[in-house]
Amino acid sequence: RSQMKFLVAVDGTRESNRAFQSALELCQRRVDEMVVLMVVEDKGTAEGGVSRQKQKKRDRAHEVLQTLEVACRERRLKYDIVLVEAPDCRAEIVRQAEANKADLLVVGSRGLGLFSRLLGGSVSQYILHRAECNV
């Protein structure tokens, strides 16, 4: 097969870690490329400053991404680590997949029940219906 570009959206949960591990298994060393993406949701603050909660989210994101970067480096993969802040993580994941020209977008599934999906929707469902690449 030819070179593939994987985009893995992570958030530090067990499910996203499983998705990352699956992508690692699919990725062929020195041939494929992996983009590890974490989106910190930022809906803005009234005062315009950086709240403690927002800073905690950023710090946690850096910790998670550092751990995943080690795994990529150990496997000698071509990789890029991307951390962005956006008001809607679902739309940003789709946008990043398109911007990075991903062949495959890998996301975890939280296993929401039907009722929860109908009320709030799921990130994976949103992406599945809007991404132009394979999910």
pLDDT at 119 over 50: no
Q: How far is CA 125 from the centre of its chain?
A: 14
Q: What is the pTM of this model?
A: 0.84
Q: What average pLDDT does the structure give for the chain?
A: 85
**pLDDT tens digit sequence for 37-74:** 999 988 765 555 667 888 888 999 999 999 999 999 99
81, 33 in Cβ contact below 8 A?
no
